[in-house]
Amino acid sequence: MAETNPPPEAAVVELLGLLAYAELVAFDRMAADARLAPDLQRRAVLSEMAAREIDNYCRLADRLRELGRDPDGAMRPFVQPLQEYHEQTEPNDWLEALAKAYIGDGLADDFYREIAGFLQSPDKELVLDVLHESRFEEFSAAEIRAAIAADPKVSNRLSMWARRLSGEALSQAQRVAMEHPELATLVLVGSGDQAALMALFKRLTSAHSARMTSIGLNN
């Protein structure tokens, strides 16, 4: 397993490049979404969430440079799929923006947490460190729960939105896996075998469903 056979550096560089660009573009989108906030206080929270993505970007870019890679080059292959994800999931209002942060970041964090298990130090710790802070998750969850409590119809609308988010995330993830066999191999080899990989996907799906339910959305 990962501890005994280190993953090839090329795959690690691809992973770091993917993560770095994901942070950079998440920053950009969240910063724009903050304008949807109903007041300055809430706008500041989403802006702060966005700012944390840039701090994480810097750490990932530093690590890429340490490995002798140019962050630009490492990120470039992931520009298209991540851009498409965000273009297909542009929030129309504040609640959609929060649901996107909550659902999307939750799914991404679960996935990266699994992958971190296949890495060695210091990349393992780095990937775990750049996961999202739970206080932002709690903020988004509380806002969505309050909105549903005030108007139960909101639940249906956001449930549909969440399905669109996870569908689009899945289809871009498949595309990345197809275009980056080394990255796909990292996940497959890290898992151990096909059955373990299926179990991993099942864990991701269950956690996603649980997250939906916990804020009052239905799968």
**C-alpha distances in angstroms, 219 versus 137, 172, 208?**
19, 20, 9
Q: How many residues bind a second copy (CB under 8 A)?
A: 28
Q: Does residue 189 bind a second copy (CB under 8 A)?
A: no
75 interacts with a second copy by CB under 8 A? yes
Which one of the spans 48-56, 90-98, 136-144, 158-166 is the region binding a second copy (CB under 8 A)?
A: 48-56
- According to CB under 8 A, which one of 14, 16, 64, 71 is a site residue for a second copy? 71
Yes or no: say if 22 and 54 are a contact pair by the CB < 8 Å rule. no
- For a second copy, give the closer residue by CB, 2 or 50: 50
Q: Which of these, 29, 28, 168, lies nearest to 85 by C-alpha position? A: 168
Residue from the set 79, 146, 199, 210 that interacts with a second copy by CB under 8 A: 79
**Shortest Å distance, C-beta 24 to a second copy:** 6
C-alpha distances (whole Å) from 67 to each of 62, 146, 180 are: 9, 46, 19
CA–CA distances in Å: residue 46 to residues 80, 95, 114: 24, 12, 26
Collapsing DSSP to helix, strand or coil, 7 comes out as coil
* Contacting positions for a second copy (CB under 8 A): 21, 24, 27-28, 31-32, 34-35, 39-41, 43-44, 47-48, 50-52, 54-55, 57-58, 61, 71-72, 75-76, 79
